[in-house]
Structure 1
Amino acid sequence: MLNPHRLRVLQSVIAAGSIQGAARSLHYSPATVSQHMSSLAQETRLKLFERTGRGLTATAAALSLAQASTSVLQNLDELDRLVENLRVGRSRHLVLASFSSAAKEWLPQVVAALRAKEPDLTVQISLNEPYTEKSGHPVDIDIRNESPLEPEKHFPGCQRHLLRDEDFAVVLPAQHSLAKAETVEVHELSDQMWVDHDIQDSPNGRMIRTACQAAGFVPQFAARLDDHNAALSLVAAGLGITVLPHLALRDLPRGTVARPLRNPTVQRRIVAHVRQDRAGEELVVEALKVLRLQAQQS
């Protein structure tokens, strides 16, 4: 098995551009760094560097090895943290996944509350849109939205917690003829140009399309993209209208207004999937408590 420490030294040499630069970064002598590289070349039976003038240039093999080592070394770091957590009897690492608007509006308060309890805690947050089946790195709390019109999602080994139901609104340019209305009925949007913020077939997009179908039309799109903030900017530029849940409308661009949608009301359900084997841990319980509070106050 390859020596992980030598792989780290290889990455340092490539990043620094020289043996001397890596030695300064690692607080080693140049001779020590050279010895590590010689040993790694013998281990791998690869030529890692070529002399160019008075310096060294990493070979393609060295660059590939360094790049492929990154995820392995990260996993080893996580394994070291796990061992330390087990030794002291608590977890210093929590993995959250969320859609973007919940990550922006709720997770800062969650992380602050958790680190107040455990100052050494590292919270890893990833965006889970577009949705895929749960795989890879285990997520401790996975915040998702669902359509009330579709079957509830349940994942093996997870507890499902309802956080809230949330209405959608239509976002219009401020000078739009419908901007003066207190509410907008979905059928009134049938002759409008739309800006689609969901090209990945997420629950949000399916709910909006279902509402349009119920009102007897299929939206015509001026633009389609997968970022709701960019979609709002296009609306502000007068390129069309878009429909979004209220949590995504906290910071509307200048020149836009939001109006409630009716007939039919478009609504999503926000849920948290919590890993069963960590559900009773103090930090996980606290995270879920803060999430519920944020959801109630939104």
Structure 2
Amino acid sequence: MLDPHRLTILRAVIAAGSVHAAARNLHLAPATVSQHLRGLARQTGLVLFEKNGRGIEATPAARQLCEASAETLTSLERLERTVEDLRQGRAEQIAIACFASLAQAWMPQVVTALRAQSPEVVVEISINELHPTGGRRVPDVDVRNEPLDGPPVHLEGYQRHVLHEEDFWVVLPATHPLAAHPVIAMAQLRDESWIDHDIHDGPTGRIITRACHAAGFTPHYIARLDDHHAATGLAEAGLGITVLPRVALTGLPGSLTMRPLTDPTVHRRIVAHTRTHPTRAQLIHTTLTALREAARRTRPSTPDAHWFRDHCDGPP
């Protein structure tokens, strides 16, 4: 059996780019790192590194081994954390994965419900847009979004629960000429400078891109980020517009406004995926109940397009 510690060191050397840099990161002596690499090479029968000038370069075999071992090492790290939690008496826990805007808008209510049920529970929340393979632990509840016109997503080993459907809105400076319109057609955004908040091209980004293509254009991005708060900060500075789902529209500064979109209207579906677990069934049920309640409270929180048509004659 391959030594997981040696595989971890291989991953560290490839990521750091040199033995000395990896040794500093791992708080090991360079000679110790080199010794482990030689042991892994003997164990696998592979050439893992080759000379490159004054340094070394990972071979394709080493990179493939590193990639293939990633999931196994992640599982072992999760197992070690479980053992530590059991040793420290922190046996009651639940892992939730979700996207960033939902973490801000809904997770306070979810964690409150979980703590009310089990005051000693530890709730771990990871952002699945940034960590698609899971956070520190395999998620017990995984909340994702998907397009309304696409096939429903099913995760192996999980049960699917539709929570909510919502629209996307354009966020722009209150002084922007388009702010005079109660509803904005996607085609009107063709020549705008766009600020992307989904640099990893996750489900949200793909939904927005498809809507732009349906309106006959490709958005011109002047900045791409992985945080919707940072995107609104750039919009507030007058650098461009951004398109956000309704759940992310809370707490906008007064210098920004938002308008519903049409032709096409941009939608998404929010779905919770729950797994069966023999000891965390009640915590998972409480989480799902709290998510459904949060979704119910979200629906009336933002005026719809009809409200703007009836109430907006000009810029807000």
Q: TM-score, normalised by structure 1?
A: 0.71
Secondary structure of residue in 2 paired with 1:277: coil
Cα separation, partners in 2 of 1:76 and 1:190, compared to 1, 3 Å: closer
Residue of structure 2 equivalent to 1:100: 100
The percentage of aligned residue pairs carrying the same residue is 45
Residue of structure 2 equivalent to 1:127: 127
What CA distance in whole angstroms lies between the structure 1 residues aligned with 2:77 and 2:95?
18
Q: TM-score, normalised by structure 2?
A: 0.67
What CA distance in whole angstroms lies between the structure 1 residues aligned with 2:255 and 2:100?
23
Aligned length: 234
1:74-89 correspondence to structure 2 within 5 Å: 75-79=79-83, 81-82=85-86
Residue of structure 2 equivalent to 1:291: 291
- In structure 2, list runs of 5 or more residues that go unmatched: 1-26, 34-74, 299-316
Residue of structure 1 equivalent to 2:188: 188
Compute the displacement of 1:134 (Å): 5.6
Cα separation, partners in 2 of 1:208 and 1:202, compared to 1, 3 Å: same
Secondary structure of residue in 2 paired with 1:143: strand
Q: For 1:79, give the aligned amino acid.
A: V
Q: For 1:100, give the aligned amino acid.
A: A
Asked if structure 2 preserves the Cα contact closer than 8 Å seen for 1:173 and 1:257, the reply is yes
* Coordinate RMSD, CA, aligned: 3.0
What CA distance in whole angstroms lies between the structure 1 residues aligned with 2:86 and 2:163?
30
Compute the displacement of 1:282 (Å): 1.6
Residue of structure 1 equivalent to 2:69: none
Residue of structure 2 equivalent to 1:226: 226
Larger Rg: 1
Cα separation, partners in 2 of 1:194 and 1:135, compared to 1, 3 Å: closer
Asked if structure 1 preserves the Cα contact closer than 8 Å seen for 2:110 and 2:291, the reply is yes
Cα separation, partners in 2 of 1:180 and 1:279, compared to 1, 3 Å: farther
1:20-169 correspondence to structure 2 within 5 Å: 60=29, 75-79=79-83, 81-82=85-86, 92-130=92-130, 132-133=132-133, 137-169=137-169
What CA distance in whole angstroms lies between the structure 1 residues aligned with 2:119 and 2:279?
20
What CA distance in whole angstroms lies between the structure 1 residues aligned with 2:84 and 2:30?
28
Q: For 1:251, give the aligned amino acid.
A: G
Cα separation, partners in 2 of 1:59 and 1:81, compared to 1, 3 Å: closer
Secondary structure of residue in 1 paired with 2:132: coil
- In structure 1, list runs of 5 or more residues that go unmatched: 1-57, 65-70
Deviations 1:106-153 (A, max 9, x none): 111111111111111111111111363569731100111111222111
Asked if structure 2 preserves the Cα contact closer than 8 Å seen for 1:208 and 1:266, the reply is yes
Residue of structure 2 equivalent to 1:263: 263
Cα separation, partners in 2 of 1:134 and 1:95, compared to 1, 3 Å: closer
Asked if structure 2 preserves the Cα contact closer than 8 Å seen for 1:184 and 1:259, the reply is yes
What CA distance in whole angstroms lies between the structure 2 residues aligned with 1:80 and 1:186?
52
Compute the displacement of 1:255 (Å): 1.1
